[in-house]
Amino acid sequence: MKLLIDMNLSPKWVFILKEAGLEAAHWSSIGKLDAPDYEIMAYARSNGYVVFTHDLDFGTILATTKTDCPSVIQIRTQDVTPEHLGPLVVSALHQFEKYLEDGAIVTIDQKKLRARILPLQA
């Protein structure tokens, strides 16, 4: 699984995810720092990445476009540091790997994990 880390998350996530055996890149090493979300989504779709973000806009884009890719992982907690959430995120990635490969949005918070299959239905 290839993960594209959004600008609103620390580049430190690259190390944590690679250490867990996952391929990861931070958007800052790929595209313009002020790129709009739809540009990040298009890049992820074209290059086989799952978007990893703290931004709810990616879910909105998936809902309005009714597309089945790219998959998105969104964190819904205040402390989004890899030091705090690393083990939970890695565990969720392994738990939902098949869903993410097929097209899903996975929401992670400290109390629950949830996956919704793409395309999103009203």
Kindly report, residue by residue over 21-63, the tens digit of the pLDDT: 999 999 999 999 999 999 999 999 999 999 999 999 999 999 8
Reported as half-sphere exposure (CB side, CA atoms, 13 A), residue 77 has a value of 19
- Percent of the chain clearing pLDDT 90 (strictly above): 89
Domains within the chain, CATH numbers bracketed: 2-117 (3.40.50)
Q: Which parts of the chain fold into alpha helices (H)?
A: 12-19, 37-47, 57-65, 82-95, 97-102
| 0.85 surpassed by pTM | yes
What's the whole-number average pLDDT of the chain? 94
36-41-46 Cα angle (round to 5): 130
Binning pLDDT at 50, 70 and 90, where does residue 120 land?
confident
